[in-house]
Amino acid sequence: MKRRDFLSLKLDIQKKYSDSLMSLDEYTEPLDKAAATHLLRRVTFGPTKRLIDEFTGLSVSEAVERILGNGTEALPDGYEDLNWLDTAEENPRDGLPIQIRGAIEGRHATRHGELKTWWLEQMRTEEAPFFEKLTLFWSTVWCIEFAYDTLELIPPPLLYRNNQMLRRNRIGNYRDMAFDDTLNGAMLLYQSVNFSTKDSPNENYPRELLELFTMGIGNYSEGDIREMARVLTGFRVAAHAFTPKPNGQFESYFLPDLHDIGAKTIFGETIPARDISQNSEDLVKEEEVRRMIDILFEQRPLPIAKFICTKIYNYFVYSSPGDANEQIINELAITFIQNDFELKPVFAKLFKSKHFYDENIIGCQIKTPLEFIVGLERQLKTTYKINEQPMASNACDDIEQELYNPPNVGSWKGYRSWISTKTYPLRRKYAVDILDMTNHAQLILLIKEFNYSDIDLFLNDILSYFLPKTIESDRVDFFKDILLNGISAQNWTNEVNNSSTSVTEGMRAFMSEIILSPDFHLI
């Protein structure tokens, strides 16, 4: 019998999961170590040993409450690290000489880089409640590209404000997120609303609002898009120096003369024409923009709920849901509607569900580049400050996930597109780079976090720390050999206590093999 056949036979026997998937009913057991690790892998950028210990034994309700928080916590403050958050530059497109324009664009690029490392630092160091995975998720829905046309860049202070807006709305009401994002400065610029006038309403944003941000294709007409474009005429953002800023630099504002005051009909609902005396920023925002958002949710609640819950499911559970999982998504959508589009109950229901902890869900999700890079740093406990060391940020760019610069308005394609013959070899390279930055003392500390009194116990722990599922015994033996590095099993604990270099050399060799395992890319 070939080895592959033997393995397969063995796996068939071991296969525990049933054909029917579990429902969204609550998972009633307290979280064991495996379940806690799984939960943390999905909601953070990598579970540390301390977090796993903290969450093991909690009920799912306690765990999920601790993870999500209440939505009113103070947000991380970029002003400590980024000194340009209030600095406006001239518009490079304003007929400036080429050298000046180049210098401005250069500063924008540098600041975009600093913003990326700042965000990565939040991801690497955060503790519960966790903001960053959710914030990143929402930034893949409400996508923004720093370099958004051949010749256009979004000033990084606008990107920072966009980032904080998403963080603030991460578990709030989806209507509020839709409203805030619609008038967000970066979005106004990115999606051409900044140019839209009553004579030429721009269709760019309303189309993406319907197609990508709320309900998906097939639920609206071209007429709805055109009417919505008229609602948004006249909104501008103070993106540059020496331009009007009635509400302050980097804030949005309103030019009444450019707003279409006629009646608009969206999904059959009419927003009445307004008198010219009522054509003010506050009134148009409330009576037209907010009303427009409300109409979407009133007229298309089910498409919105299903569309958003599908995105949530794909991101946090599995990116290739089959038909059986559609039922789960439908159940989640109903929760969303029943809670009037509040997000927290949806996330809570999902993370507490039996389905989320199902055997077939564990280890099925391909790590995003950020999960791969930041996750390894978190798990190896690298100590440098990312602001001083942009390697991680460059690595993520190189393996195709540059923050605030996805390939297009649909954001990253995700799922299997993360792994290609271009990115896979680079993933190994960067993982090895991170490993190389971890010194002897750090590796000994890492080993001592686990129960190292027995090599087999340790191996079991460390494998489940880095790999999502229990592996076959021949692979365990293979890893054990490498880890021992010639030290006898009886003597290994002693050698750890002696801080022997044979131990850390073994640990390095072990990690190098872990990095070469396909399942190291799965969570």
Residue 57 binding other proteins, by CB under 8 A: no
Q: Shortest distance, CB of residue 246 to other proteins, whole angstroms? A: 21
Do 144 and 162 meet the contact criterion of CB atoms below 8 Å apart? Answer: yes
If one counts every other C-beta atom within 10 angstroms of the C-beta of residue 80, the result is 8
Could you check whether the bond before residue 246 is cis, i.e. omega within 30 degrees of 0? no
**Distance (Å, whole) CA 275 – CA 278:** 5
For residue 228, with 0-12 CB atoms within 10 Å meaning exposed, 13-18 middle and 19 or more buried, which class applies? buried
Residue 100 binding other proteins, by CB under 8 A: no
Q: Shortest distance, CB of residue 151 to other proteins, whole angstroms? A: 5
Residue 97 binding other proteins, by CB under 8 A: no
Residue 469 binding other proteins, by CB under 8 A: yes
Contact letters for other proteins, residues 349-388 (x by CB under 8 A): -----------xxxxxxx----------------------
Q: Which of 171, 169, 170, 158 is nearest to 115 (CA)?
A: 158
Residue 137 binding other proteins, by CB under 8 A: no
Pick 125 or 204: Cβ nearer other proteins: 204
Residue 243 binding other proteins, by CB under 8 A: no
Provide DSSP, 347-375.
HHHHHHBTGGG-TTTTT-SBPPHHHHHHH
Contact letters for other proteins, residues 149-168 (x by CB under 8 A): xxxx----------------
Pick 164 or 360: Cβ nearer other proteins: 360
Q: Shortest distance, CB of residue 313 to other proteins, whole angstroms? A: 13
Among residue numbers 480 through 509, which ones bind other proteins (CB under 8 A)?
none
Among residue numbers 311 through 350, which ones bind other proteins (CB under 8 A)?
318, 320
Among residue numbers 406 through 435, which ones bind other proteins (CB under 8 A)?
407-410, 413, 416-417, 419-426, 428-429
Pick 361 or 503: Cβ nearer other proteins: 361
b/e map 389-422, b = 16+ CB within 10 Å:
eebbbbbbbbbbbbbbbbeebebbebeeebbeee
Do 308 and 295 meet the contact criterion of CB atoms below 8 Å apart? Answer: no
Residues contacting 15, CB < 8 A, separation 6+ = none
Q: Shortest distance, CB of residue 66 to other proteins, whole angstroms? A: 27
Instruction: Choose one: 3-11, 380-388, 451-459, 500-508; the region binding other proteins (CB under 8 A).
Output: 3-11
In SS3 terms, 411-466 reads as CCCCHHHHCCCCHHHHHHHHHHHHHHHCCHHHHHHHHHHCCCCCHHHHHHHHHHHH
Pick 408 or 453: Cβ nearer other proteins: 408
Q: Shortest distance, CB of residue 472 to other proteins, whole angstroms? A: 8
**Distance (Å, whole) CA 71 – CA 244:** 34
**Residue 339 DSSP symbol:** T
Instruction: Choose one: 13-21, 243-251, 330-338, 490-498; the region binding other proteins (CB under 8 A).
Output: 13-21
Among residue numbers 19 through 48, which ones bind other proteins (CB under 8 A)?
19
Residue 106 binding other proteins, by CB under 8 A: no
If one counts every other C-beta atom within 10 angstroms of the C-beta of residue 275, the result is 9
Instruction: Choose one: 64-72, 130-138, 276-284, 512-520; the region binding other proteins (CB under 8 A).
Output: 512-520
Q: CA dihedral in degrees (302, 305, 307, 312; nearest 10)?
A: -160
Cα separation values, 91 from 34, 145, 195, 226, 483, Å: 53, 17, 14, 29, 57
Instruction: Choose one: 6-14, 34-42, 57-65, 488-496; the region binding other proteins (CB under 8 A).
Output: 6-14
Q: Shortest distance, CB of residue 365 to other proteins, whole angstroms? A: 8
Q: Shortest distance, CB of residue 81 to other proteins, whole angstroms? A: 29
User: Which residue from 132, 181, 211, 371 is in contact with other proteins, where contact means CB under 8 A?
Assistant: 211
If one counts every other C-beta atom within 10 angstroms of the C-beta of residue 509, the result is 16
Residue 448 binding other proteins, by CB under 8 A: no
**Distance (Å, whole) CA 220 – CA 264:** 15
Helix or strand (DSSP H, E) at 235: strand 235-237
Q: Residues touching other proteins: how many (CB under 8 A)?
A: 73
Q: Shortest distance, CB of residue 209 to other proteins, whole angstroms? A: 13
